[in-house]
Structure 1
Amino acid sequence: MGQRWSIQPGVSDHQVRRRRPRNFFWQFRVILVGDSTVGKTSIVLRLTEGTFREDLHKTIGVDYYIHILETTPTVRVKLQVWDTAGEKEHRTITQSHLQTLLGGLLVFDLTNRQSLDYLRKWLDESGPALDQGECIFILVGHKSDLSAERQVSQEEAEQVAADLGLTYIETSAKDGTNIHEAFLTLASTIAESVKTKVTEVKGVIHGVTEINGPVLLKKMTI
């Protein structure tokens, strides 16, 4: 069966018709994947709260955050960000979520080469789920503020990203470098993909469409 798109709860069809385009929300579920201690939670907190804390506890399972941003002057995106644990025992939980997600950030620590190897292994193990889901990912080299301690050069990371067919960006939750830009790039790329899929589907009426097959992979709110 196809996935059904729906307008926001409590909003009538009449209200939707009268709204200007800039009042529409697209809701995307996205995930942060990476080894333990690479700074995934720090990235999300910098995005959603504008804060940085050194004394964060490890994530157990999955935590959820909401953030709204504008990908264009006429399109606002509500991101439901899933912050996942990096420990091996939680990896199956992460993979099971791929069927309900549109994309995410693959995060590694620039001062820890093994964290990049973790992502390579995760991608290999998640191949079947990713093939079904058509998820859009961005490779993120985190902790760019620790330049003296880095083990992975920008050139090497860019080559890894190119080999994987991914966009690459370096971030720092500590000083805020490229945190907003990373999520904006992700949301914008997903939005462009979604708009392309929408134009391929007939019968788009007031933002409610029936999609046949796993074309868009998940429920969205327009």
Structure 2
Amino acid sequence: MADSDDEGDKKDYQIKVVVLGDGTTGKTSLITRFSQNHFGKTYQQTVGLDFFLKRILLPGDVHVTLQVWDIGGQTIGGKMIDNYVSGAEAVLFIYDITNYTSFENLDDWLAVVKRTFRGATKLPHMALVGNKSDLEHMRTVRKDRHEKFAKDNHMSSHSISAKTSDKVNNCFKQVAADVLHIKLTPAYLEETDAVITADVVRHTPHQSMPTKLTTKTRSSVCVLQ
């Protein structure tokens, strides 16, 4: 995870963030909003996984490269799911606040993470993310149910809208800070960080999976299995 830099007090870290949840919950929309400040109006199913990078700056001159893995919703029963989740420092569990089934199914996604990290000294940082806050008037998952699930499973709690970008950057910043045990002030969270866009490189299924990157370049990679 950590890769500190000897130049002054600057520190560089890499964090693997896996995004899990049912299809149509907005996982890809969330990630593309965060990484490229773009929201696609047409739904496109993620097959296997997509892979993105974005660098952020946290207080204390801490530079963090977030390696974000967008796991397809249909992948939960696949043979590769454990490989995708393995090595994650953070896992975001995404559900659609207007779709109660997507919230109920988080138990299955949580079971995948616990199975993958069976025998490990600890689980990765886990975050519960309710997407589509712009559709509050259509909410089917009560806020108290959200908070209870987060508390019962030791997750941080987030409410975002990939469509409007509300709280999207803050969600990823907070998750990264939680992993690195950095306290964020309200003033910091109100700041807007620059959006980094990058070309997407598509790899064929026979190519090897991306591993923990050491590059400090700003790029975006998409892997299809």
Q: Aligned equivalents of 1:86 and 1:188: distance in 2?
A: 27
Deviations for 1:133-188, whole angstroms, at most 9, x for unmatched residues? 62111000000111121100212101111111111111001111110111011100
TM-score using structure 1 length? 0.75
Deviations for 1:45-76, whole angstroms, at most 9, x for unmatched residues? 11011111111311010101111112213101
Q: Match of 1:39?
A: 26
Could you say if the C-alpha distance between residues 78 and 160 of structure 1 is closer, same or farther in structure 2, counting changes exceeding 3 Å? same
Q: Match of 2:9?
A: 21
Question: Is 1:49 aligned to residue 36 of structure 2?
Answer: yes
Find 2:135's aligned residue among 116, 129, 146.
Answer: 146
Question: Is 1:182 aligned to residue 186 of structure 2?
Answer: no
Could you say if the C-alpha distance between residues 47 and 114 of structure 1 is closer, same or farther in structure 2, counting changes exceeding 3 Å? same
Deviations for 1:164-214, whole angstroms, at most 9, x for unmatched residues? 111111100111111011101110011129xxxxxxxxxxxxxxxxxxxxx
Structure 1, gaps ≥5 residues long: 8-15, 194-217
* Percent of paired sites with the same residue: 26
Written as runs of structure 1 = structure 2, the 5 A alignment for 1:1-222 is: 16-17=5-6, 19-22=7-10, 24-88=11-75, 91-131=78-118, 132=120, 134-192=123-181
Contact 2:14 2:65 in 1 (8 A): yes
Could you say if the C-alpha distance between residues 89 and 173 of structure 1 is closer, same or farther in structure 2, counting changes exceeding 3 Å? closer
TM-score using structure 2 length? 0.74
Deviation for aligned residue 1:30: 0.8
Which range moved further: 94-103 or 34-43? 94-103
**Relative CO higher for 1 or 2, CA cutoff 8 Å, sep ≥ 6?**
1
Q: Secondary structure at the match of 1:152?
A: coil
Structure 2, gaps ≥5 residues long: 183-210, 217-225
Could you say if the C-alpha distance between residues 25 and 90 of structure 1 is closer, same or farther in structure 2, counting changes exceeding 3 Å? farther
Deviation for aligned residue 1:125: 3.9
Deviation for aligned residue 1:31: 0.7
Q: Match of 1:201?
A: none
Q: Aligned equivalents of 1:188 and 1:172: distance in 2?
A: 20
Which range moved further: 126-135 or 61-70? 126-135
Q: Aligned equivalents of 2:212 and 2:51: distance in 1?
A: 17
Larger of the two Rg values belongs to structure: 1
Contact 1:29 1:80 in 2 (8 A): yes
Q: Aligned equivalents of 2:63 and 2:47: distance in 1?
A: 30
Contact 1:48 1:65 in 2 (8 A): yes
Q: Aligned equivalents of 1:40 and 1:143: distance in 2?
A: 11
Which range moved further: 119-128 or 29-38? 119-128
Backbone CA RMSD of aligned residues:
2.4
Q: Aligned equivalents of 1:169 and 1:52: distance in 2?
A: 19
Q: Aligned equivalents of 2:21 and 2:14: distance in 1?
A: 23
